[in-house]
Amino acid sequence: MSMYTLYGWHLSYFTGKALCYLRYKQVPFVLKPVNLYTLTQRIKRETGAIVMPVMVTPQGQWIQDSSVIIDHIEARFPAPPIIPVTPVQRFVAYLIEAWGDEWWVPIAMHTRWSYPENYALFEHDAGSALLPWLPGFMQRRAVHFIASKLRRMLPTVGVRREQFAVMDAWTAHMLDLLDLHFSQLPFLLGHRPTLADFGLVGTMYGHLGRDPWPARELIAKRVHLRAWIDRMASPVPPAYGTQDAALLPNDRIAATLLPVLRAICQEFLPLLEGINDQVNTALASLPAGKALPRSLNDVEVSMGDGRFRRAAVPYTLWMAQRALDVYHAMSPEAQREVQDFLRSLGGERLLALKIAPLQRQGLRVRPVSNTNPTGQAS
Ligand SMILES: N[C@@H](CCC(=O)N[C@@H](CS)C(=O)NCC(=O)O)C(=O)O
């Protein structure tokens, strides 16, 4: 049978998302630990970025971005479906995908890079993947170089010492909410995983659930959350038509998920608005054919009871646009249901967010109106 290839590492946030998804879909695929040559030469050439994961189709097409990978596979392997058909659950699935992908990045970077005990696993896994043909000391040197680069990115994503107390308090509270939810339901929207679960598992699979410090200190004691991560990592597609396969009836969202969604409205929505303001300003002076920089100036938003600053990442708006496109494609009646639901959470403003149409180009975005003959876009 023709195989897909997923290039990535277990350590990687978005590889974890794609990996759990491909396993659940029972897609014939092989996970290849991406080496230095593939990462910096082949992937760069095919996608325009040095990035993982990348999936290669049996026909030789290179697909970058976990969301695009999911869309590609959903179009070809519709069962088991991961996109809910009812309006509120459908919109919530895309919203949580965006939140899981983007909001959690500083938390996942903090819990990895602020605790030196995590480094041995990173060094081992990254070293043997990057340069499998070289001796250990050379692997360690290469990993040291990459780790230094990653550490330099930490302040940009918000991993700043003066914010640690706010981030730690937020994380403990949010993990408690998720643990409580998973004590009631096996997945976010019911009895089978949806796009929401695959969005959230990115941060949990390779980082919080696998790096030694957070796995022990944050996840192990939250047994229901731990069990969900394990279910996501070794998923069993449900038997269709049975109770096991059902999402909650009547387009319902579990009461235990509402506090999580309220936090998304109070924190992630202002982040999107702040990024959108900066993107609109940057677009005004963007030369034709150019993509926006990967990050812009800082945005400050609430994080739990505190305040949190990080650089605005224009790509995050592409993820928000993905959710809003789903909303705009709904019937007026379905849109009203989404509006009512978001209003009940204090998040109706999200639907009014006016994002200039953006096209993805690797890890960057550019306005749809800007043409670019070289970059891969979707
Ligand atoms: N939004 C992309 C992000 C991919 C991504 O950020 N991958 C990380 C590893 S988990 C990476 O390669 N980062 C390289 C960089 O940021 O330069 C996706 O969903 O696949």
Q: How far is the CA of 15 from the centre of ligand 1 (A)?
A: 9
What letter does residue 348 receive in the DSSP assignment?
Answer: G
Q: Is the CB–ligand 1 distance for residue 361 below 6 Å?
A: no
Does ligand 1 lie within 6 Å of residue 66's CB atom?
A: yes
* Residue to substitute in 36, 51, 71 for testing ligand 1 pocket (most ligand atoms within 8 angstroms of CB): 51
pTM metric for this prediction: 0.96
Asked whether the beta carbons of 274 and 117 are under 8 A apart, the reply is no
**pLDDT under 70: residue ranges of the chain:** 1, 239-244, 370-378
**Which residue CA neighbors atom 7 of ligand 1 most closely?**
52
Distance 86 CA to ligand 1 centre (A): 30
- Whose CA is closest to atom 11 on ligand 1? 51
Which ligand 1 atom is nearest residue 17's CA?
19
Q: Is the dihedral of CA 319, 321, 327, 329 positive or negative?
A: negative
Q: How far is the CA of 333 from the centre of ligand 1 (A)?
A: 37
- The pLDDT score that the predictor gives to residue 378 is 41
Instruction: Please tell me the distance from the alpha carbon of residue 132 to that of residue 139, in angstroms, as a whole number.
Output: 8
pLDDT at 245: 78
Write the residue with the smallest CA distance to atom 16 of ligand 1.
Answer: 51
Alpha carbon of 13 to ligand 1 centroid (Å): 8
Closest CA to 48 of 370, 360, 288, 361: 361
Predicted local distance difference test score (pLDDT) of residue 1: 59
Q: What is the distance in A from the centroid of ligand 1 to the CA of 183?
A: 31
- Which protein residue's CA is at the shortest distance from atom 15 of ligand 1? 51
CA of 252 to the centre of ligand 1 (A): 33
CA-to-CA separations, 36 to 125, 146, 307, in angstroms, rounded: 13, 11, 38
Which residue pairs from 245-250 have beta carbons closer than 8 angstroms and sit at least 24 positions apart in sequence? 245/80, 245/191, 245/192, 246/190, 246/191, 246/192, 247/84, 247/86, 247/89, 247/189, 247/190, 247/191, 247/192, 247/194, 248/89, 248/185, 248/189, 248/190
| pLDDT (0 to 100) of residue 241 | 56
Angular region, 73: left φ>0, alpha ψ -120 to 50, beta rest: alpha
Q: Are 20 and 201 in contact (CB under 8 A)?
A: yes
> Does 51 contact ligand 1 (Cβ within 6 A)?
yes
What pLDDT score was predicted for residue 289? Answer: 84
pLDDT at 8: 98
Atom of ligand 1 nearest to the CA of 49: 17
Closest ligand 1 atom number to CA of residue 65: 20
Ligand 1 centre to CA of 266 (Å) is 26
